[in-house]
Amino acid sequence: AAAIDAGAAAARADDGVATCIRLPYDAVSRYLVDANVIGAGGYGRVYRGEHAGMALAIKVIEPRAGMAGDDADDEERRALDAELNVVSRYRHPHLLPVSGAYVPPADAPPHHRPLIAYQLLHCDLTERLFPAAA
């Protein structure tokens, strides 16, 4: 199974930012089922999962509507790189630390989507982000 590509992680390692755990697709793909959906956002669904004994929130990066082929692949990589760049560099109460990532290699089957995994918090995110409003 492939892992995060060298272009996304190695460049950040040179900047002194810790790289992510390399998630094997086969180890986390079994959690990518409707019963495990815990949320959805602009880039795709988020699933409850686990890897190496750690509870994870696994975000599946989906291509934007109307994107196909190489355009979709380029868009996915840009979206994933942008998100990893932000969440791996900055520490803030509103940003969850990245636990791992997976970027499918060029020869991966089409159903292999890019993934970003975060530590699964056992709380209401709205309450965590906006404690006065809760």
Question: What's the start-to-end Cα distance of the chain, in Å?
Answer: 42
- Closest by CA to 84, choosing from 24, 30, 22, 40, is 22
**Torsion from C-alpha of 69, 73, 78, 82, nearest 10 degrees:** 130
Rounded to 10 deg, the angle between the 6-14 and 69-89 helix axes is 30
- Kindly state the tokens that stand for 119: 């530590």
Q: Is 59 annotated as a binding residue?
A: yes
Q: What whole-number distance in Å separates Cα of residue 124 and Cα of residue 114?
A: 26
Residue list, annotated binding site: 59
Residue list, annotated binding site for ATP: 59
